[in-house]
């Protein structure tokens, strides 16, 4: 379930990344729309977000997360399986 989808991006393999701002995590779906996994959670540690406001997927499949409240841009390396 998505509570407050804020941003969506798609990698070159068609995997879909959805930033859920209310749940404070990123849900990943494969190119067929099947749920694959959740990335991140609320917090201040590695791989955690406070108020994520945007995401982008790089050609290297890094997930960039803009978190203005903590004044960070996180680079999360992760490869989705199709």
Domains and CATH numbers, the chain: 5-77 (2.40.10.500)
pLDDT of residue 80: 45
The backbone torsions φ and ψ at residue 32, rounded to the nearest 5 degrees and listed phi first, read -95, 0
Eight-state DSSP code of residue 48? E
Instruction: Write out the chain's pLDDT in tens, 82 residues.
Output: 888 899 999 999 999 999 998 999 999 999 999 999 999 889 888 888 888 899 999 988 889 888 887 777 877 775 544 4
pLDDT of residue 72: 74
The rounded distance, in Å, linking the Cα atoms of 68 and 52 is: 7
pLDDT of residue 49: 87
pLDDT of residue 78: 59
C-alpha radius of gyration, the chain, whole number: 12
pLDDT of residue 70: 75
């Amino acid at each position: 379930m998505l509570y407050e989808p804020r941003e969506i991006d798609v990698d070159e393999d068609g995997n879909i990344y959805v930033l859920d701002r209310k749940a404070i995590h990123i849900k990943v779906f494969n190119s067929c729309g099947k749920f694959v996994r959740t990335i991140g959670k609320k917090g201040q540690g590695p791989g955690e977000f406070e108020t994520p406001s945007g995401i982008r997927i790089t050609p290297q499949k890094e997930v960039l997360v803009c978190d203005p409240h903590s004044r960070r841009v996180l680079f999360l390396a992760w490869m989705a399986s199709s």
